[in-house]
Structure formats: structure tokens, C-alpha cells
Structure 1
């Protein structure tokens, strides 16, 4: 609802406001949580409490996925009535070019990968299979939004990737 209010009132949030609100609206945190449902008895209530309290790895994953998506989709989304992206918010806040805002987004993505690596390499009370699920979602997003929007335009590279995975798997 916050993003809808921003859009209708033409309010352009700060990058920090945008990241905070988009962590809820993007769906990436929910995707992390739903990945645990199929893990059987190992997905105990403590794990769901942990993931719902926004640990560092979940925050980093959300920033990484959200900004990666925004970098490649923002121009297309601005052609239709759509809420602002990190790129537009950063450009307005600091009165800089699109390319400079993208570079800042890429810097934040790099920092998010560092945070995720740190969380996966340090001993934790959360078993590694749960951290790996979050890491793997980010790996998928890295492929989907590497240089262009392969989610919206899935006919090109993404179709090739899916076909290689499901239709022409590596023989064992």
C-alpha cells in the first residue's frame, strides 16, 4: 500500500525508504520462507522465527535481488505507470545520472554478496541447508537479471537455460 500511495501522490522516496518498503513488497523474503516448507521435519518453528526476524543474510538477499531487478527493469517499468525503482530514487536523491545510480546499485549488490558469504562461512545456529536455500534464490536472480530482464522477456536466454535444465539434462 505504501508504494501505491507513493505512486498516486507522485512521491519519490529516498533510496533507504525504498529499500525498507520494498523488502516487504518484493516477495523475496516470502520466497525464502516458502522454500523451507518442503524440507520436512528439519524446518522447525525456530527456523521460521529466525527467517521472519530479518537476519543479515535475508536482508542482504533482499537488497541483492531487489536492486538487481531494478537495474535491468527500471527503464521499461517507467514507460508504464509503475512505482519508482532504486535507480530513480537514487538519481533524484543525489542529482546524478542513471549510470552513476546503477554503479551505486552494483556497489550495494557487491556488498550484499559479501554479507551473504560472511553469513554462510561463519558458524551459525541455523543449519547450512537453510542458508543454502537463500543463497540459491540469489543465484537464480543473478541469472534472471544478469544483464537484462530475462523474467519478463523469457523467450531468449531464459528459455535456453530452462530447456538445458529440464528438456536436455546432462546425461548421468
Structure 2
């Protein structure tokens, strides 16, 4: 979880939000915060699922290679286990946003949900985050230059 960038990225998102006061940052930095943990887990697992073969070629250990060795399972079984952990992380974030009272404004929770959505989009099938030409490149002008009028 620590090696993922979600904690830093979400802190940067909150910098631009007027709802992010001292209480919000204390909530965010609390080690028992399930939403922050879920974002960290998602960031790490999504990344490892789609980049594992590239990182193996570069000689890096990933969470899934460690999981395979520890549990003596195949790559497919490790990916399946990671997808189950991702589903659990989604549940925590959705419950925090939709169902549970929290000490922070709803806008902060919406930002966490949207960050989770971005992770899902960027890593669902490919490493679109590291290789933006796959999916992001054609979407950025659509979102920023030619948005759909509401």
C-alpha cells in the first residue's frame, strides 16, 4: 500500500478543495481510515495486475509474484484473489460515500469515489496510466475541449 501513489495523489486533490480543512486532513491521515486504505489497496493492486509482466521483465517484484509464492498459486489465481480484494475496496468506498455517516464533507467522499473510478478506468484492462496513448489521449480533448453539455 505504501508503494502506491494514491495517498499522495488524493492529498493533492484535496489541496484544491475548499472543504478540505484541518479535520479532513486529520481524518485522511488517520491510519484507521478505511477509505484511505481502500484507495491505497486499489492503487497497488490495479497497477500490479496490469503491469506485472512488464515489471517482471525489468526485474521488479510485484504484489502478485509475492502472493503467488506465499500461497503457492498460479498467476490467474493471484489475479482472481486481487480482483476480490478490489471488489472489497469498492464496497468500503461505496459504503463510505453512500451509506455511512462520516466526519468529513460529502464532497471529500465524492472526490475519493471519483479517484477510485479513475483508477478503475486507468487500470481495468491495460496500464493506461503509464501508457496514456492507449485510452487517455483521445479522451482528454473530449472532456476538456469538447465536453457534453448538460
Which structure 2 residues correspond to residues 31-50 of structure 1 after superposition, within 5 A? 31-40=9-18, 42-50=19-27
Establish whether residue 70 from structure 1 lines up as the match of residue 70 from structure 2: no
In the alignment, which residue of structure 2 is the partner of 1:162? Answer: 140
Establish whether residue 126 from structure 1 lines up as the match of residue 96 from structure 2: no
Give the Cα separation in 1 of the matches to 2:42 and 2:66.
16
What whole-Å deviation, never above 9, does each CA across 1:71-123 have from its counterpart, x for those lacking one?
000111111132x2121111101111100000000000001101111111211
Establish whether residue 107 from structure 1 lines up as the match of residue 77 from structure 2: no
Match of 2:125 among 147, 158, 167: 147
What whole-Å deviation, never above 9, does each CA across 1:121-140 have from its counterpart, x for those lacking one?
21112111111111111111
Indicate the structure (1 or 2) with the bigger Cα radius of gyration. Answer: 1
| Deviation for aligned residue 1:171 | 4.0
Does structure 2 conserve the Cα–Cα contact (< 8 Å) formed by 1:70 and 1:85? yes
User: Stretches of 4+ moved more than 4 A in 1?
Assistant: none
* TM-score normalised to structure 1 length: 0.80
Does structure 2 conserve the Cα–Cα contact (< 8 Å) formed by 1:61 and 1:135? no
Does structure 1 conserve the Cα–Cα contact (< 8 Å) formed by 2:5 and 2:43? no
* TM-score normalised to structure 2 length: 0.91
Unaligned stretches of 5+ in structure 1? 1-22
